[in-house]
Structure 1
Amino acid sequence: MGQPGLPPEMQHRAAAQRKEANMDVPSKSNKAWVDIVTGKKTFQLKFLAAKILLGRLTRSVKEDPSPENVSSSIDQIYAIFANNVNMPSVQDDLKTIFG
């Protein structure tokens, strides 16, 4: 599992430090979510599932920009990031979108 040559307690500490470096998924109330589902801001995403979903969501919001549809779209894109938050590509995308 951990890093070869390190005692178990140091491996655990190194793993904890790597985990701390992970960015959490920002709250759904963050304005950037609205910007990406409406297409106001666009990003080159690395996480393929989010890229595909976001394409579908932005088309849906363009066709129906109601607050309910925007909120539902944010829920969906948030969920895919939250459920995969430990993947390196998701971490890269979160940093790209939210800084």
Structure 2
Amino acid sequence: MECIKCGETKESEFYPSSLKVYDYRCKRCVCEYSRKWREPHKEHFRNYMRMHPGENRENFKRWYANNRERHYEMRKRYAQANPQRHKA
């Protein structure tokens, strides 16, 4: 398949469009779009997280169960990048 955003051809790194049209975007492009949207809409994002705490907790538990090694690596990188916060 070919990403309509970046034009790269990839085998399995795609999210189908929710509109059921041939509008496939690769995972990298979807993540980049989400990041760019979230930046100017920080307050909306924070309000949503506050209003849906139970749903967020369940989603995180599910993500953590599937990504333990990735979570460990992310925490490790954060601790190395922010030594003042991790003075243990």
**1 or 2, which has the higher helix percentage?**
1
- TM-score > 0.5, shorter chain as reference: no
Greater relative contact order: 1 or 2 (C-alpha under 8 angstroms, separation 6 or more)? 1
Normalised TM-score (structure 2):
0.28
**1 or 2, which has the higher strand percentage?**
2
Normalised TM-score (structure 1):
0.25
